[in-house]
């Protein structure tokens, strides 16, 4: 009887996060966040508290931050095309990042770097461990990816890893927010749940972090095997992959290059 009780507790404990992450639970969090009138709030820390104070668990708070960003920050396609503010020369990188975060909140748009910085800042503000990841993403058919060599250190995207219940999860807030309509040259907001807490084995299909540890895989890929995996996935799922790439084309080469003096 004692063993049965222990097993029951373990099973129930293991399901706590899963219950918080069910479609119904996510919908509940989203519905609360959607009623928040925070348009005038410009302070990123105060905004993080305002978004999450209603919720009790880390999983709910992460979802609330994620959903608020996807619904309130638009991809700055014009800024991406212009290439402005994508290179920084200076010593105070932390202050530079903070100014970018405040600017993103003020104008309600940014590139992938801004999405990832904002998500990281908000999570850390409420004491949830979060990292910004930079790396390579597949944004067009595979031949365009193969320009990257094993020695190439130029990255083209940023996303996040967040810790919930002592476990790391992967999130791409930019790609979850929507896509760019290439013919009309404008951002289309459309929530893509695939990029929320994406299983590592799925995200590695088109996301390759500069630091292998952020693949969150027991056997990380190197660039050569990542490209081989991307090619195989393309061949096996060509129609599905084409649709995905059309929607995500806005993020190519949109990370900020930092040069410290």
Confidence label for 89 from pLDDT (cuts 50, 70 and 90): low
**Higher-scoring residue by pLDDT: 87, 180:** 180
Q: What is the mean pLDDT of residues 119-148?
A: 81
Confidence label for 228 from pLDDT (cuts 50, 70 and 90): confident
Radius of gyration (Cα) for the chain, nearest Å? 19
Q: What is the mean pLDDT of residues 199-218?
A: 95
pLDDT greater than 70 at residue 11: no
pLDDT at 216: 98
Give the residue among 54, 63, 70, 52 at the shortest CA–CA distance from 126.
52
- Helix pair 58-72, 112-125: axis angle to 10 deg: 150
pLDDT at 88: 59
pLDDT at 138: 78
Give the pLDDT confidence of 23-57 residue by residue, as tens digits: 899 999 999 999 999 988 999 999 999 999 999 99
Report the percent of the chain where pLDDT is more than 70: 73
Q: What is the mean pLDDT of residues 192-200?
A: 96
pLDDT at 5: 39
The ranges assigned to domains in the chain are 21-256
Q: What is the mean pLDDT of residues 95-106?
A: 93
Confidence label for 242 from pLDDT (cuts 50, 70 and 90): very low
User: pTM of the prediction?
Assistant: 0.82
pLDDT greater than 50 at residue 258: no
Q: Are 41 and 4 in contact (CB under 8 A)?
A: no
Half-sphere exposure of 72 (CA within 13 A, CB side): 26
Give the pLDDT confidence of 103-117 residue by residue, as tens digits: 999 999 999 999 999
List residues bridging with 209 in a β-sheet.
135
Give the pLDDT confidence of 163-187 residue by residue, as tens digits: 999 999 999 999 999 988 888 888 9
Q: How many Cβ atoms from other residues are within 10 Å of residue 96's Cβ?
A: 16
93: left (phi over 0), alpha (psi -120 to 50) or beta: alpha
Q: What is the mean pLDDT of residues 80-84?
A: 76
**Higher-scoring residue by pLDDT: 24, 131:** 131
């Amino acid at each position: 009887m004692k063993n049965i009780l222990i097993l029951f507790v373990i099973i129930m404990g293991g399901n706590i996060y899963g219950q918080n992450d069910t479609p119904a639970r996510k919908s509940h969090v989203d519905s609360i966040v959607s009623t928040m009138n925070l348009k005038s709030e410009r302070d990123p820390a105060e905004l993080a508290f305002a978004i999450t104070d209603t919720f009790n668990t880390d999983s709910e708070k992460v979802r609330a931050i994620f959903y608020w960003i996807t619904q309130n920050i638009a991809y700055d396609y014009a800024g991406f095309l212009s290439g402005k503010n994508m290179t920084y020369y200076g010593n105070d990188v932390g202050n530079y990042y903070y100014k970018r975060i405040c600017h993103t909140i003020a104008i309600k748009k940014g590139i992938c770097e801004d999405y990832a910085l904002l998500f990281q800042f908000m999570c850390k503000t409420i004491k949830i461990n979060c990292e910004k990841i930079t790396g390579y993403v597949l944004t067009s058919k595979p031949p365009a990816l193969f320009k990257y060599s094993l020695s190439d250190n130029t990255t083209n995207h940023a996303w996040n890893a967040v810790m919930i219940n002592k476990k790391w999860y992967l999130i791409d807030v930019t790609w979850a927010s929507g896509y760019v309509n290439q013919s009309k040259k404008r951002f289309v907001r459309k929530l893509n749940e695939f990029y929320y807490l994406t299983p590592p084995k799925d995200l590695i299909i088109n996301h390759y972090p500069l630091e292998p540890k952020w693949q969150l895989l027991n056997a990380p890929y190197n660039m050569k095997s990542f490209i081989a995996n991307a090619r195989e996935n393309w061949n096996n799922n060509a129609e599905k992959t084409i649709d995905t790439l059309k929607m995500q084309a806005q993020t190519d080469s949109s990370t900020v290059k930092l040069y410290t003096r």
